Structure 1
Amino acid sequence: MKKIIFSAVLISFFISCKKESKDHQLQLEKNTIKKVNTPECYLGVIKKDSVLMHLNFEGNQLISGNLIYNFYEKDKNEGSIVGQLKGDTLFADYTFTSEGVLSVREVVFLKEGNNYIEGFGETVDDNKGKVKFKDKKKLMFDGKLVLAKTACK
């Protein structure tokens, strides 16, 4: 009789250990699954000019995005952006083609609610083919170019 009770206790112990192991494994899998963020799209229109921005974030990291400046009666600037959201400000490198020339310049947008406001400031060429802001502390967000959240197409 003691052998039967001992065997039953032993089996219960192994079953509970196996269940805890499975629960622990499920918890580990949940913790390692990356959060997939929904793409975000923004559109700004000023008279006959428009700007479209498409963003894909992973946490605060902008892993991919597209930015299109479509200015009336001027060449369209279209390219990709990659950067990081620091607080409420998106700093990114914009790699684009305009008039057949590939360029890289730093862009900045201030997040306000469901909008992004483009920032401007004095720029310098870093002699490596990239145009950067001279002093990020002096950036201006005057509200002239506001991109409102819109449905992605």
Structure 2
Amino acid sequence: MKNLVISCLLLSCIGLQSCKKNEEKKEAVQTDAEKIVSTQCYKAVYEKDTIDLKLNTLKNGKLSGNMVMKVATATERTGEITGEFRGDTLFADYTFVEVTNKTKTFKNPMAFLKRDNQLILGNGTMQTTMGVTYLVKDKPIDFDRVKYKFSTLECK
């Protein structure tokens, strides 16, 4: 009986150790895919509004970065943006806080059309279902009648 218990404990330890090694490999692969390949900065100005955008292209092809929105009629917003290109359109989620109320986090979907060296923030129909806001797939996104056209600039 003692031999059976010792054998079971030994097998359990070996099994747990191999699981640990697999987790370490997964973490190494994930961090390798999340390495920044390039960084591009953009700025959009419309009347008294200014939006600063910094996008990092990751090794896995996805994008991450941060964006600061200073819109004249609203509170300043600062947050992170994540997404990926589908063709020439960047579909992203902007997770932000308002400077006056940092306790509440908001998340909005966004779509940017890449045209030449510009990113154009599109206007699309949004819908919220079960607390998640997304762009409606059946409705086209307007990239022609827009306020914000981002021009590239050198990152600081």
Measure, in 2, the Cα distance between the counterparts of 1:120 and 1:136: 14
2:69 maps to 1:66: no
**Which residue pairs with 2:148 in the alignment?**
145
Equivalent residue letter for 1:94? Y
**Which residue pairs with 1:42 in the alignment?**
42
Measure, in 2, the Cα distance between the counterparts of 1:83 and 1:74: 25
What are the ranges of 5 or more consecutive residues in structure 1 without an aligned counterpart? Answer: 1-32
**Which residue pairs with 2:79 in the alignment?**
79
The DSSP-based 3-state class of the residue aligned with 1:55 is: strand
**Which residue pairs with 1:21 in the alignment?**
none
2:117 maps to 1:117: no
Q: How far has the Cα of 1:115 moved from its partner?
A: 0.6
Deviations 1:55-91, CA, capped at 9 Å, x for gaps:
00125311x2111110125201111011111111100
Measure, in 2, the Cα distance between the counterparts of 1:88 and 1:134: 18
Q: How far has the Cα of 1:136 moved from its partner?
A: 5.7
**Which residue pairs with 2:95 in the alignment?**
95
What are the ranges of 5 or more consecutive residues in structure 2 without an aligned counterpart? Answer: 1-31
Q: Please, what TM-score do these two structures have when normalized by structure 1?
A: 0.70
Measure, in 1, the Cα distance between the counterparts of 2:83 and 2:76: 22
Q: Post-superposition, which runs of at least 4 consecutive aligned residues in structure 1 deviate over 3 A? A: 33-36
Coordinate RMSD, CA, aligned? 2.0
The DSSP-based 3-state class of the residue aligned with 2:142 is: coil
* Structure with the greater alpha carbon radius of gyration: 1
